[in-house]
Amino acid sequence: MFNKIMKKISDYCKTNVLFLTFVITSIINELLIRSFSVKNPLELKPLLADIAVILIIASFGYLFKPKNRFKYYLVWSIFFTTICVVNSVYYNNFLSFTSFSLIATSLQALGVSDAIVQNVMEAKDFIYILQIIILIIVHGSLKRKKYYDKIKQNAKQFLLNTLIVGVIFVGLFVSTLSNLDIGRFSKQWNREYVVMKFGLYLYQFNDLVISIKPQISPLFGYDEHAKTFREYYDNKDYTHEDNKYTNLLKDKNVLVIHAESIQKFTMDTKINNKEVTPNLNKLAKEGLYFTNFYAQDSVGTSSDTEFTFNTSLMPSSSGTVFVNYYDREYVTIPKLLKEQNYYTFSMHANNCTFWNRNVAHESLGYDRFYCYNKDFEIDEVLGLGLSDKSFFRQAVEKIKDIDENNEKYYGILIMLTNHTPFAAAETVDFDVTYKYEVENKETGLKETVTAPYLEGTTMGDYLKTVHYADEAIGQLIDDLDKEGLLDDLVIIIYGDHDAKLKKAEFNRFYNYDPETDSIKDKEDPDYVTIDNYFYELNRKVPLIIWTKDKDIQKKLHGEVDSAMGMYDVLPTLGNMFNFSSKYSLGHDIFNVKDNIVVFPNGDWLTDKLYYLGQKEEWKLINPDETITLDYINNGIDKANEAISISDSIITYDLIKKTKESESIVQNKKPE
């Protein structure tokens, strides 16, 4: 019996070589990418899911004649390989997985191709191509041996049997799912969690369905989402108590500086006793400095931040607002200030169409968008476009003209030079080596020794370009002052998102041993563990509100260490400038206790803890803090609600439709 079984297995393998090659290489690639990313290659649940997907797809190869099956399996191999390569590269940069909804958005990557090659792509990203190579080699060998002419099999029976086995694997997989798994799979907010539990291939097919939601969602489910939306805002507490900042900045001119990729830790950093950001530090000391502030960006990075800053909504869970949902109606800071007779504008030294800004900015309510060579002379190129220093010099002339021709104005300057791949580092005079004194054993005198430290690393280049960006901001303040534009101006500076640096860069930054030119041992008492929690908490960015007005400075200064997100900016500024939006998801940070910051992937934090959604774990920020399970569950509910409500507003254009409904009711004549 054993011999008969082995013979049947042998015969099956001999008559299904191409099928088995496709199945095995597809499974290996899936195991590899989970090994390199979420690091759970041996977990059974996602393996069952992907085997089911692979078997079902592979079974339809039997619909073709043996000599034509290669083309079928080659097409699917190219598809699977592409999925693996793209997700591998994407995970290197964003610690998440890509989406079909990003196809339109991915065109933005053409502008940062150098960054992808230099800082994101790694050798392991190409290992998945072996699937295609192996399939071609096996096919060539079979063709030379005239395998396809000799093979005899009942193709229909193989098709049916393989489908049955695939369905069995589907059943086994489904039996392992929890309600939480199913909920997260349908929403797909936390892509890393979905891949961990459902495997890459099933995730990607589900994502394909999710990604066409912008086109089909408005046709389905509107009533349910509109009902949830109405109930949320009907039950929302709109009570607002005045505080010492209420109307403090009313009628002041406003200039927002969108500081590309600047993280807060750079403001706390000195190298060889020299500050990386002396100008930002000075402004933070003189103004109001939010030290526990987080961007809430997703795949749209800078554009997500612009959207959340201006609307107090979350980024879209599918695609990006600027590309996929720019034509919806939103309540924004520019629109609210225009109601107070402000002129509103935006300026950026990159291509006008990057992130679809030429259209999206008009939707946000800016009267004018100044961009790249349309409005600026490209006299000094650094990295992706016009250098920040040249951009600011030219911007000041335009702001001067705006000031002369308008009663009040609100504008935003979007910086660029500090964008990855930090190309400006070559031109910046800022030493990132490590200098320390040692005693010369022969002379007994102190000598200065230099260790490489961050020289030649991505972190080193990043700190250099941050230093350049800081110099540019300092120059901007000086130029505005010389033109007499600071007297009635409030400057708001925020870091748009973290620098997307890898953990290894932070490991060297925090754990470098200059005497050995290596990383400290983990047993060293000064060793800093760069785990997921440290990495996420370290992604905070600066937020500074500053004015030259000394009378206001007396009231508008100090550090605010409450946990705060980008969606809290609109209501916080609204209290200061006398505007508000009933659709804000955030809060005036001075009017809320135990604020919650929700991230697009379902993670969230408060002053007490950071909740890591992908692992359903949390870490207390203060180890002495006591929290309950109810506190955790309440936070999870709030996070899910915020993401869901924001998605509904964006997808179904609920603000516009609500206004239309209210207008109809108000204008309806009584019978």
Q: Which domains does the chain have, with CATH numbers?
A: 2-211 (no CATH), 247-503+540-593 (3.40.720.10)
> For residue 612, what pLDDT is reported?
92
SS3 583: coil
> For residue 2, what pLDDT is reported?
78
Read off the pLDDT of residues 261-288 as tens digits, 9 standing for 90 and up: 999 999 999 999 999 999 999 999 999 9
Residue showing tokens 């929690």: 533
pLDDT grade, residue 421 (50/70/90)?
confident
Cβ neighbours for 417, distance < 8 A, ≥ 6 positions apart: 260, 382, 383, 384, 387, 388, 424, 465, 468, 469, 472
- Asked if 632 contacts 606 with a C-beta cutoff of 8 angstroms, the reply is no
pLDDT grade, residue 372 (50/70/90)?
confident
> For residue 283, what pLDDT is reported?
98
pLDDT grade, residue 256 (50/70/90)?
very high
- Asked if 287 contacts 544 with a C-beta cutoff of 8 angstroms, the reply is yes
> For residue 105, what pLDDT is reported?
54
Mean pLDDT of 62-83: 93
Decide if pLDDT at 666 tops 80. no
Decide if pLDDT at 118 tops 70. no
Where is pLDDT greater, at 182 or 288?
288
CA angle (573 as vertex; 572, 575 as ends), nearest 5: 70
SS3 540: coil
Give kind and range of the element (H or E) at residue 460.
Answer: helix 458-482
Read off the pLDDT of residues 18-60 as tens digits, 9 standing for 90 and up: 999 999 999 999 999 999 988 888 899 999 999 999 999 999 9
> For residue 317, what pLDDT is reported?
83
> For residue 59, what pLDDT is reported?
94
Phi, psi of 188 (to 5 degrees): 55, 35
Asked if the bond preceding 315 is cis, omega within 30° of 0, the reply is no
Using alpha carbons, list the distances in angstroms from residue 233 to 239, 346, 596, 653. Answer: 13, 31, 18, 15
CA angle (259 as vertex; 306, 548 as ends), nearest 5: 105
Decide if pLDDT at 117 tops 70. no
What is the 3-class SS of 307-344, one letter each residue? Answer: HHHHHCCCCCCCCCHHHHCCCCCCCCHHHHHHCCCEEE
Decide if pLDDT at 595 tops 80. yes
Read off the pLDDT of residues 442-498 as tens digits, 9 standing for 90 and up: 888 888 999 999 999 999 999 999 999 999 999 999 999 999 999 999 999 999 999
- Asked if 279 contacts 471 with a C-beta cutoff of 8 angstroms, the reply is yes
Residue type, 498: D
Cβ neighbours for 238, distance < 8 A, ≥ 6 positions apart: 582
Output 160-165 pairs: Cβ under 8 A, ≥24 positions apart.
162/19, 162/55, 162/56, 162/58, 162/59, 162/62, 163/55, 163/56, 163/59, 165/55
Read off the pLDDT of residues 539-574 as tens digits, 9 standing for 90 and up: 999 999 999 999 999 999 999 999 999 999 999 999
360/369 Cα distance (integer angstroms):
10
pLDDT grade, residue 223 (50/70/90)?
confident
Residue type, 488: D
606/499 Cα distance (integer angstroms):
22
Say what percent of the chain tops pLDDT 70: 93
Decide if pLDDT at 107 tops 60. no
Read off the pLDDT of residues 322-333 as tens digits, 9 standing for 90 and up: 988 999 999 999
> For residue 52, what pLDDT is reported?
95
Mean pLDDT of 67-80: 94
Residue type, 243: N
pLDDT grade, residue 622 (50/70/90)?
confident
Decide if pLDDT at 642 tops 80. yes
255/409 Cα distance (integer angstroms):
8
Mean pLDDT of 195-209: 89
17/252 Cα distance (integer angstroms):
74
347/397 Cα distance (integer angstroms):
12
> For residue 110, what pLDDT is reported?
45
Q: Is 252 exposed, middle or buried (0-12, 13-18, 19+ CB in 10 A)?
A: middle
Decide if pLDDT at 114 tops 60. no
Residue type, 272: N
> For residue 4, what pLDDT is reported?
75
Residue showing tokens 């609920």: 654
Mean pLDDT across the chain: 90
Which of 66-70, 334-338, 511-515 has the highest mean predicted lDDT (pLDDT)? Answer: 334-338
Say what percent of the chain tops pLDDT 90: 69
Decide if pLDDT at 671 tops 60. no
- Which among 108, 20, 114 is positioned nearest to 69, based on CA atoms? 20
546/555 Cα distance (integer angstroms):
11
Neighbours of 226 (CB within 10 A): 16
Q: Quick one: how many helices (H) and strands (E) in the chain? A: 28, 22
pLDDT grade, residue 147 (50/70/90)?
confident
42/59 Cα distance (integer angstroms):
25
pLDDT grade, residue 665 (50/70/90)?
low
- Which residues make beta-bridge pairs with 45? none
**Strands 274-275 vs 288-290: parallel, antiparallel or unpaired:** unpaired
> For residue 239, what pLDDT is reported?
81
